[in-house]
A and B are shown apart, each in its own frame.
Chain A
């Protein structure tokens, strides 16, 4: 076995430039697949990773779409909040008023999402994820003060908003007491939100409607049952079927994972096109090699090589080239994934680490070898079926 490897190696060495180019074709194909998959996993991780911290959370809102406070059916109210908090298994519940309002800062106006909630509830809603980076948190007795997300502070207006600056929300002046830490990823909408107390929200919005209730459950396994119970209770409160939607984060994570799997499949399918091109490259190289070596194949057969010997020699050659191509592709793919990750950080400021899974690398090499051997099969069969007399005569 060792000898046939050596023989194949000798033949490959004889055609360095062509072998190198074929190898590059495979390497690029495999690298594209690996880089896209690794970045895809990184993206999935950055999104679902944030969600896992919220796995015990249930979002309760009227209608079917999150954040639609004033649906035609009506809004949630204090009674709903009290009932949700009273359901067995719910650790704590918090309410939020939500609206898009016009905000003005130094003569510049834009429309921004306003979230009104009791200061003590921010912990219930966001857990440990959301922290104040500059300034302080909201307090119960605060009046006309607000916390702003990083996006509001830095991106929404030409001039940066700092702590103690004043902004106008819905016609009322507010003082900025703190700026939140940057969230990014799935929670990037939190960066684009202004947080006020519910009392202030009532002043701005002109009503006491609750757009969303957040409920933290004691046991994540019971989240689905509790969500069903919440929907039932609140539908009863409003005497309407399907008035409430209670969405567990667990089901949101599952949905997202399904979306990511699909996204990965599409990315891999696109990257696979380069693999198909590479396999045509191998077939072409091997066909040329077989043609050039017709005379050599004739000699081998004349001195006693069986069809199988010739077949395995050529298959081994294409297999070896593609395996080395696969390994190079893995190295190139890991490098590419990191370059993409750095590029995303530079361009969008999002931290998406490329996640290189060992099984993806092994799979990459395996696919390369399979592609190589399959592409080499036709040329190798052609070589093995040659008539020794005709092949020896071929010059």
Chain B
């Protein structure tokens, strides 16, 4: 379902070239739960950005449902992110001026869903992640764990086939971290592909398949 071929990403810092990914080839099946582990600077987040259509590789290709995303325009990539992928970030990345309900309904807004339908679906998702009572609260009024659950609800709003988590438990305590991984396991059981980047091996142990990265290369699969 997702396949990368000879993926390379080079960042330019002035005259210096810093390779972040080197010839990464990887295949992820539909419905898989995959953890990518590695130390800071190993290239795991860069790989996730390529797989999640947030960034384009310097060379190589990423095929998503048979389409090479490296050849798509910015707006086409935005369309894929909107329809097929749900993102969960370490910093939650909620919009502070909007309450939980509005944050969750925002991707639906960009997808052109009507206001009533949007709010109904957002309320359902917040109920699903246990935040029914707090849907009118702004992020600043929620705990870290609650904010991450809002972010998960947001990631699910367009009912995507792929959930991508970049250190999703990095900013919460271990108990909340386990709870979040529990939610992700549940989503995987619903048939969604889940890809998580973490440096925490215990968190990675929730995933049936773990790959390691070092210096921009895949070490083992």
| Residues on A facing B (Cβ under 8 Å) | 2-4, 7, 10-11, 13-14, 295-296, 298-309, 387-389, 392
Contact = CB atoms under 8 A, between A and B. Distances in A.
Contact of B106 (A11, A13, A303, A392): A303
B200 interface: no
Given A387-B55, A389-B54, A304 B81 contact: yes
Given A300-B110, A388-B54, A389-B49, 11 more contacts: A295-B93, A300-B95, A301-B78, A302-B54, A302-B87, A302-B93, A303-B81, A304-B111, A305-B78, A305-B82, A306-B79
Nearest to B109: A3
B107 interface: yes
Interface string B52-66: 001100000000000
B59 to A, nearest CB: 17
A309 to B, nearest CB: 6
B32 interface: no
Contacts of B78: 301, 304-307
B93 A392 contact: yes
B54 A305 contact: no
Contacts of A14: 97
A288 to B, nearest CB: 16
Given A389-B54, A392-B89, A305 B95 contact: no
Given A10-B98, A302-B87, A303-B82, A309 B93 contact: no
Interface in B54-96: 54-55, 74-75, 78-79, 81-83, 87, 89, 93-96
B95 A296 contact: yes
Interface in B103-126: 106-107, 109-111, 115
Nearest to A308: B75
8 contacts: A3-B109, A10-B98, A301-B78, A302-B54, A304-B81, A304-B158, A305-B110, A307-B78
Contact of A304 (B83, B93, B94, B98): B83
B106 A300 contact: yes
A294 B197 CA distance: 24
Contacts of B81: 301-304, 388
A300 B154 CA distance: 11
Contacts of B74: 306-307
Contacts of B82: 303-305
A1 to B, nearest CB: 11
Contacts of A2: 115
Interface in B161-192: none
Contacts of B75: 306-308
Contacts of B79: 304, 306
Contacts of A388: 54-55, 81
Contacts of B87: 302-303
A16 to B, nearest CB: 12
B97 A304 contact: no
A392 B49 CA distance: 11
A13 B138 CA distance: 15
Contact of B110 (A10, A298, A303): A303
Contacts of A296: 95-96
Contact of A299 (B95, B109, B111, B158): B95
Contact of A303 (B55, B115, B154): B154
Nearest to B52: A302
A289 to B, nearest CB: 12
Given A304-B79, A306-B78, A11 B110 contact: no
A389 B98 contact: no
A308 B76 CA distance: 12
Nearest to A295: B93
Contacts of B98: 10
Contacts of B93: 295, 298-299, 302, 392
Nearest to A303: B107
Chain A CB within 10 A, most for which of B49, B94, B109, B158: B109
A299 to B, nearest CB: 5
Contacts of A3: 109, 115
Nearest to B82: A304
B95 A306 contact: no
A298 to B, nearest CB: 8
A91 B79 CA distance: 82
Nearest to B89: A392
A7 B95 CA distance: 11
A94 to B, nearest CB: 77
Contacts of A387: 55
Nearest to A395: B91
B60 to A, nearest CB: 17
A7 to B, nearest CB: 8
B45 to A, nearest CB: 9
A3 B118 CA distance: 11
A230 B17 CA distance: 92
A304 B89 contact: no
B91 to A, nearest CB: 8
Contacts of B96: 296
Interface in B9-26: none
A115 to B, nearest CB: 74
A328 to B, nearest CB: 24
Nearest to B160: A304
A10 B83 contact: no
